[in-house]
């Protein structure tokens, strides 16, 4: 309030009194989206939703305080709608007491934030008889707009709007884990200014297993304090909760997934039950490693032998370079399939285009996808079969979520293998990306399986054992600095060393050397129709913004305001390259004349760019 007053912003918003947002809003959304309740999977999702709502209603009859609500359910259960429904139930109950909480829906990745925001936005659209503006729902991450829309005719300047957005002046916030927890563990004013918004809010933590294991204890304690001291109602959604977080006994954990009722009704824990959408095949992975030639031969023979049945498949690899090589080989081998390549090596806008292409393929279309782990983060596609390079068990489970997603076929298969880099002493590609402890624990559990295949419902149990073992052996609360020294985070917090906490509390891994390359697509665009999505026009506008003749503060404000208008489409044309010290000098030499300010650029027709696999600077 002090900041709002100091900024001379005199804008007030209602407190939901007249808004018709409640559980009926979700029912209206389902009708609008033509939910098909004739399929067994959608019947389960509806039962899952209704049983969670009923269980919460019973719990609220007892007491609302000091509770953390858990929704620990399998992938594909419909947690997004269910958790939002639970939040609306809590909000409307508090509203009767004239308490008007914000709903803060947090997720680990931008792709999932945008995906869930669209769902929640649509729910509001079908419920309310007015335009859905920023005061109602706000997507918030580093690429989101800073232009504030008000339901009134009142004009809000860029500076006022930017302030309101940065301070979360909206009823529903859809944001990232980073934005929530960095508003607590920081000494930076622009992050701390959102801290007060957490008070008395309803906080949804979706996919909590994405939080690094060394932060589990600290996050547990933080959620306890938010619940106990700040009046927050917290809903946690995950498929692997039991061994993720550790709460004190006085915090009452309420499990809202009626596992016994739904398990018996849908045979969830049987080999022929509903959650038997796939099996993980270990025939390639047990006690042996393979090279690229062996992998390609296996895939080719496997697909050809099932030619009459197999319409599509995916290959998920751990590095960009290995994915590019396998893609190019398979493209020559499977000329009757449409090839799709996905990785962070191509601009986000092109990745999204290819993902939509996959979604729009008919059931008869033959295609294959070669991808890095980028496919695991909120990419809602379903393949018949996947071949997956070795990874930690939670990543393998995420990959499995892209196979037979809606139980449309009898059973999908995920082949697990361990690919070696023959150019580097046969080192496993998985070791370049993942922590060796996570890999060794995964292999230990997989090697303990008697069978050559693991059904979905067994994989869930295996995941619990995996997190339990990590919980017992990992160094919780400790992080390494750049000199490989061990830092104990709780000690820094207790000693109020805020700058050090800010430095070492990391939800996202940082890299010593990363460069940003803007890809100038050389295809033809209609300037009026496609701007600001025309890459050539975007690049020229970017240069124009930062070469203007204004001086001092006027220059700074002009650049900030004008770049904000193109920020999202601009960064959707960018590729971030992580470089080792060995690669750095060689690659930057190739880009020496292709830089403006701190951004490099490449034309899509350049020798350093491949139309299928993206940046090619090796």
pLDDT tens-place string over residues 456-472? 888 878 888 888 888 77
Contact 126, 143 (CB under 8 A): no
What are the structural domain ranges in the chain?
Answer: 22-266, 278-473, 514-615
- Reply yes or no on whether the pLDDT at 311 is more than 90: no
Report the pLDDT averaged over residues 322-333: 96
Confidence of residue 523 (pLDDT cuts 50, 70, 90): low
Confidence of residue 157 (pLDDT cuts 50, 70, 90): confident
Report which secondary-structure segment, H or E, holds 204.
strand 202-206
pTM: 0.88
Contact 234, 203 (CB under 8 A): yes
- Reply yes or no on whether the pLDDT at 158 is more than 50: yes
Report the pLDDT averaged over residues 211-228: 88
Report which secondary-structure segment, H or E, holds 552.
helix 552-571
Report the interhelical angle of 79-95 vs 23-32 (nearest 10°): 150
- Whole-number pLDDT of residue 17: 45
At the topology level, CATH places domain 278-473 in: Rossmann fold (3.40.50)
Helical H runs in 139-291? Answer: 158-166, 177-181, 189-192, 216-228, 259-266
Confidence of residue 419 (pLDDT cuts 50, 70, 90): very high
Average pLDDT, whole number, for the chain? Answer: 85
- Reply yes or no on whether the pLDDT at 277 is more than 60: yes
- Reply yes or no on whether the pLDDT at 251 is more than 80: no
- Reply yes or no on whether the pLDDT at 242 is more than 60: no
At the topology level, CATH places domain 22-266 in: Rossmann fold (3.40.50)
Residue with tokens 């590729």: 575
Report the interhelical angle of 456-473 vs 436-447 (nearest 10°): 130
- Whole-number pLDDT of residue 406: 74
- List, as one string, the DSSP characters of 409-428: SS-EEEEEE-BEETTTTTEE
Higher-confidence residue of 150 and 444: namely 444
Question: Which pLDDT tens digit goes with each residue over 565-615?
Answer: 899 999 999 999 887 766 777 788 888 788 899 899 999 888 899 999 999
Contact 564, 145 (CB under 8 A): yes
Report the pLDDT averaged over residues 240-265: 71
- Reply yes or no on whether the pLDDT at 531 is more than 50: no
């Amino acid at each position: 309030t002090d900041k709002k007053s100091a900024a001379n912003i005199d804008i007030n918003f209602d407190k939901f009194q007249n808004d018709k947002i409640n559980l009926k809003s979700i029912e209206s959304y389902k009708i609008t989206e033509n939910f098909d309740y004739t399929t067994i999977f959608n019947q389960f999702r509806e039962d899952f939703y209704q049983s969670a709502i009923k269980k919460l209603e019973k719990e609220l009859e007892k007491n609302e305080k000091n509770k953390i609500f858990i929704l620990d359910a399998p992938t594909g259960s419909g947690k997004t709608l269910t958790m939002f429904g639970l939040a609306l139930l809590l909000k409307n109950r508090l509203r009767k007491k004239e308490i008007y909480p914000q709903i803060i829906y947090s997720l680990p990745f931008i792709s999932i934030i945008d995906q869930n925001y669209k769902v929640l936005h649509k729910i509001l659209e079908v419920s309310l008889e007015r335009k859905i503006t920023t005061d109602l729902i706000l997507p918030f991450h580093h690429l989101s707009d800073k232009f504030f829309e008000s339901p009134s005719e009142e004009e809000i300047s860029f500076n006022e709007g930017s302030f309101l957005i940065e301070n979360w002046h909206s009823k529903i916030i859809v944001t990232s884990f980073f934005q929530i927890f960095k508003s607590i563990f920081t000494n930076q004013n622009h992050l701390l200014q959102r801290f007060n918004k957490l008070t008395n809010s309803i906080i949804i933590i979706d996919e909590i297993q994405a939080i690094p294991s060394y932060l589990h204890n600290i996050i547990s304690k933080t959620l306890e304090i938010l619940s106990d001291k700040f009046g927050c109602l917290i809903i946690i959604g995950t498929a692997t909760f039991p061994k993720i977080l550790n709460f004190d006994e006085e915090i009452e954990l309420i499990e809202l997934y009626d596992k016994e009722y739904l398990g018996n009704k849908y045979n969830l824990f049987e080999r022929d039950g509903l959650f038997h959408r796939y099996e993980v095949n270990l025939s390639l992975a047990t006690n042996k490693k393979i090279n690229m030639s062996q992998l390609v031969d296996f895939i080719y023979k496997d697909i050809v032998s099932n030619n009459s049945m197999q319409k599509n498949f995916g290959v998920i690899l751990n590095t960009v370079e290995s994915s590019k090589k396998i893609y190019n080989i398979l493209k020559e081998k499977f000329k009757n399939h449409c090839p799709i390549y996905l990785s962070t090596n191509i601009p986000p806008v092109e990745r999204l285009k290819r993902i939509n292409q996959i979604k729009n393929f008919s059931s008869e279309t033959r295609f294959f996808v070669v991808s890095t782990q980028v496919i695991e983060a909120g990419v809602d596609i379903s393949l018949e079969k996947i071949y997956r390079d070795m990874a930690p068990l939670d990543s393998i489970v995420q990959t499995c979520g892209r196979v037979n997603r809606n139980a449309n076929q009898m059973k999908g298969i995920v082949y697990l293998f361990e690919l070696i880099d023959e150019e580097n002493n046969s080192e496993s590609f998985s070791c370049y990306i993942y922590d060796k402890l996570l890999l060794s624990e995964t292999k230990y559990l997989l090697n303990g399986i008697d069978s050559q295949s693991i059904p979905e419902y067994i994989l869930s149990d295996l995941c619990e054992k995996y997190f339990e073992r990590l919980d017992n052996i990992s160094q919780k609360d400790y992080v390494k600095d750049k000199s490989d020294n061990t830092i104990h985070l709780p000690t820094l917090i207790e000693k109020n060393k805020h700058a050090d906490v800010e430095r070492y509390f990391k939800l996202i891994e940082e890299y010593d050397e990363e460069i940003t390359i803007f890809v100038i697509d050389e295809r033809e665009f209609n300037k009026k129709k496609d701007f600001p999505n025309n890459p050539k026009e975007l690049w020229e506008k970017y240069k124009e913004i930062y070469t203007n003749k204004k001086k001092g503060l006027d220059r700074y404000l002009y650049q900030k305001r004008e770049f904000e208008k193109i920020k999202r489409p601009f960064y959707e044309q960018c590729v971030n390259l992580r470089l080792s010290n060995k690669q750095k000098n060689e690659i930057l030499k190739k880009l020496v004349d292709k830089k403006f300010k701190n951004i490099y650029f490449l034309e899509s027709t350049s020798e350093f760019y491949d139309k299928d696999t993206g940046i090619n600077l090796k």
